[in-house]
Amino acid sequence: MSIYLQRSLLLPEIQLKENTPGGIRIMGVITVLWGGLLFVLGAGILAMPPEAKKDVIQQLGGDNPAILTPMGIVFLLIGFILTFNANLSFRFLREWTRRNEGQGEE
């Protein structure tokens, strides 16, 4: 999440730059897509049958198919963290937008 957005929410007298909300939206969408991809990849790795894991490891030149399970868990965690962070940023951006619209009416 943008540190400038946090500052602006905590101290309303500090204004955001004009392009910051748009940048947060663009980066948030990219982050959600990337996090979703990692999450699906991690779930796919964990859902693989043991025979498929052995085949994948053999094709990669390894000898221990058990390494795929922790890899899948790490992908799941990173994907979840990225999408959670982007959703928090979107929520705080909505809050900031709501506050600014309220100030504009006064």
Contacts of 34 (CB under 8 A, 6+ apart): 82
pLDDT in tens, 22-61: 999 999 999 999 999 999 999 999 999 999 999 988 998 8
Angle, helices 3-10 vs 68-105, to 10°: value is 40
* Tens of pLDDT, residues 58-71: 998 888 888 899 99
Q: Record the pTM.
A: 0.81
